[in-house]
Amino acid sequence: MTGGTPPGAPHHPGPHHPGPHRPGPLPLGAAVGVAVGCGVLMALQSRINGELGRRLGDGFAAAALSFTIGLVIVLVIVALLPSARRGTRTALVEVRRRRLPAWTLFAGFGGAVFVLSQGLTTALIGVSLFTVAFVGGQTVSGLLVDRAGLGPGGVRYLTLRRVLGALIALTVVAWSVVVHIRPGTPLWLLLLPVLAGAAVAVQQAANGRVANAAGTAVTSTLFNFIAGSVALIVAALAHGALAGALPASLPPDWWLYLGGPIGVTFIFALATAVRTTGVLLLGLCSVVGQLTGSIVIDLVAPGSGHSVDWTTPVAAALVVAAVLVVSAPALTRTRRR
């Protein structure tokens, strides 16, 4: 359920569908601020969805509910925007003509894994540790996704700098997992955010291809929420059948249902900011926002029984360093332009 774009995957307008006229790009300072703010929103969404899962006693139901609320919002937006409806038709035509791989329309499965992992883990391990593991998985997976050429920018070959950055991120995640293992803590609880980061890297690469083909990012957002909602509803029903029951009631606190709207907000905000920053600088700024926001959230409003120790800020700083190592060459080119 995330709409950010992975480091290393540049945005190019589709050659066949340049898309509708859009307002001019944001100034660079404003675009950087938007990207950092979106990272904070992603961390906030993790906290909200994690708490919803804890209150319901069912992380599967919480994820399905959050994603479905987002789907309703996107459907309303698509109904109101003719350009979004045209983009949806265009993407389907491109799939039928085999110019767009059909699997890219199901990229929302990656977002579903992300939101599900929020609902199952963040209330227990904290938003900051979740974010460190998530960003580490995303960085390493993004390296492999770029090498495979799954994104709109085609194949990006491995370099020593990019491999070194990915290894730093992977090492930090492994260290964070080891130092936070406690007796009785399931290992999957700490590894699930890593898997979510890897899935989101593939999701974002597919999103770029769909947006290019359709001429609008609204179309990729729509297909993301459709695929993710269906997957999570099926998972929630299956889990409820195995557990013997679905949650009997919903908590009354209105803010617990803001995960979906927040997701829609940062998806569209990132799509606006990327026109100025480029994809790589956008990804770096959003990562800084995620890590900073997650630590602040855990300090101000920690999850039940969770507190921040010294290892989490250190791990966050090292992950930022890893992303800087991966991004440095492209950031230099961005400044020269």
The residues spanned by each domain of the chain are 28-336
C-alpha span between 173 and 179 (Å, rounded): 10
Instruction: Give pLDDT, residue 303.
Output: 63
Average pLDDT along the chain: 80
- Tell me how crowded residue 50 is: count the other CB atoms within 10 A of its CB: 28
Instruction: Give pLDDT, residue 86.
Output: 94
Give the residue-averaged pLDDT of 124-143: 79
Q: Is 306 exposed, middle or buried (0-12, 13-18, 19+ CB in 10 A)?
A: middle
C-alpha span between 46 and 42 (Å, rounded): 6
- Helix, strand, coil % in the chain, rounded to nearest 5: 75, 0, 25
Instruction: Give pLDDT, residue 271.
Output: 62
Q: Is the pLDDT of residue 301 over 80?
A: no
Assigned token pair, 266: 């940062």
Give the residue-averaged pLDDT of 292-313: 74
The rounded percent of the chain whose pLDDT value lies above 90 is 29
- Tell me how crowded residue 253 is: count the other CB atoms within 10 A of its CB: 12
Give the residue-averaged pLDDT of 132-157: 76
C-alpha span between 1 and 203 (Å, rounded): 9
Local confidence band at 235 (pLDDT 50, 70, 90 cut-offs): very high
Instruction: Give pLDDT, residue 337.
Output: 56
Q: Is the pLDDT of residue 307 over 70?
A: no
Global pTM reads: 0.77
CA 44-49-55 angle, to 5 degrees, is 125
Q: Measuring CA to CA, how many Å separate 93 from each of 81, 86, 99, 252?
A: 19, 11, 9, 44
Identify the top-confidence range among 39-43, 92-96, 328-332: 92-96
Q: Is the pLDDT of residue 18 over 60?
A: no
C-alpha span between 105 and 197 (Å, rounded): 19
Local confidence band at 11 (pLDDT 50, 70, 90 cut-offs): very low
Q: What does the pLDDT look like over 52-103, one tens digit per residue?
A: 998 998 999 999 999 999 999 999 999 999 999 999 999 999 999 999 999 9
Q: DSSP string of 227-251?
A: HHHHHHHHHHHHHHHHHT---SS--
Instruction: Give pLDDT, residue 12.
Output: 45
Residue 315 has φ and ψ, to the nearest 5°, of: -60, -40
More confident residue, 206 or 8: 206
147 contacts 4 by C-beta, under 8 angstroms: no
Give the residue-averaged pLDDT of 288-295: 83
Instruction: Give pLDDT, residue 331.
Output: 53
Q: Measuring CA to CA, how many Å separate 52 from each of 49, 60, 61, 259?
A: 5, 10, 9, 9
Q: Is the pLDDT of residue 316 over 90?
A: no
Assigned token pair, 155: 């194949």
Give the residue-averaged pLDDT of 193-208: 84
Q: Which of 8-22, 91-105, 285-299, 307-321 has the lowest mean pLDDT?
A: 8-22
Q: Which of 15-19, 149-153, 165-169, 182-186 has the lowest mean pLDDT?
A: 15-19
Q: Which of 40-44, 139-143, 241-245, 308-312 has the lowest mean pLDDT?
A: 308-312
Q: What does the pLDDT look like over 248-260, one tens digit per residue?
A: 889 999 999 999 9
Q: Is 311 exposed, middle or buried (0-12, 13-18, 19+ CB in 10 A)?
A: middle
